Amino acid sequence: MMLRQHEVAERIKQYILQNRLGPGDPLPTEAELCAAVGASRSSVREAIKTLTALDIVEVRHGHGTYVGRLSLAALVESLTFRGLLSRSDDFRVLSELVQVRQTIEQGLAGPILAAFDDGIHGELLDLADQMAERAARGESFIDQDREFHLLLMEPLGNELITQLTAAFWDVHAIVAHTLDTSPESVRETVEAHHAIVAAVSAGDVTAFTRAIEAHYAPVRRRLQEGPGR
């Protein structure tokens, strides 16, 4: 009986786990993988396509198939599409995403401040200054903003939190791009980043949580106004 594509994909995942393979490790040849999971070549090829889309495996043409980076690329793609679809529903997904981002950053305030050192504080301050300079020239500071929030989580040493932060930030940046911005909201965003840095320097958890709230205030306000206003 021919195995379903989902079942073959699950068997390949179990093969990876049972053989303790990690990101970047090579998988066996197609013929060997077929024998290992008990499936036909066509079934294995279709399963590999599915797992590639999820970043569980990576096909390097001319070299073979490897365990993927296991990133959250599929999550970003799905949430972005949902967010863009929800524009007719008052940006519901974006509103929920903002809530999740703010909850994570405020909830981790204590551990974040406890883990910080002078070196990372200096990097954060430099990024905040770059944002202010670019804003003054009427330029976007999207790259600096992303790096700022990832750097905020770096001292925790938790790879999943960092990956989630990056994933949620990427979705936010793509979907929020459909919102109008004003000079005032840009100014508030820049000031909020400097307030975050100041709170980190002072080790003040209360000031940190307030600065995070101020950071998301402009987009929350725009979402409450609704699309097209």
Q: How far apart are CA 134 and CA 209, in angstroms?
A: 25
pLDDT, residue 209, reads 96
pLDDT digits (tens, 9 = 90+) for 171-208: 777 777 666 678 888 999 999 999 999 999 999 999 99
- Which residue matches tokens 């863009």? 84
Ordered structural domains, the chain, with CATH: 5-67 (1.10.10.10), 73-225 (1.20.120.530)
Q: Please answer whether residues 112 and 151 qualify as being in contact, where contact means their C-beta atoms are separated by less than 8 angstroms.
A: no
Beta pairing class for 64-67 and 57-60: antiparallel
Residue 222 is encoded by which pair of tokens? Answer: 């725009």
Task: Give the pLDDT confidence of 206-220 residue by residue, as tens digits.
Answer: 999 999 999 999 888
Q: What is the mean pLDDT of residues 80-86?
A: 59
Residue 179 Cα distances to 16, 83, 89, 95, 218, angstroms: 43, 12, 13, 12, 11
Contact 216, 169 (CB under 8 A): no
The pLDDT value recorded for residue 80 is 61
Q: Give, as one character, the DSSP assignment of residue 26.
A: B
3-state secondary structure of 30: helix
List the one residue out of 175, 10, 200, 170 whose CA is nearest residue 85.
175
Q: Dig out the tokens for 89 from the structure.
A: 């529903």
Strands of the chain, DSSP E: 57-60, 64-67
Nearest to 201 by CA among 147, 121, 142, 134: 121
Structure confidence by residue, pLDDT tens digits, 7-47 = 998 899 999 989 998 888 999 999 999 999 999 999 999 89
Phi, psi of 24 (to 5 degrees): 95, -15
pTM value is 0.68
Helices (H) and strands (E) in the chain, counts: 11, 2
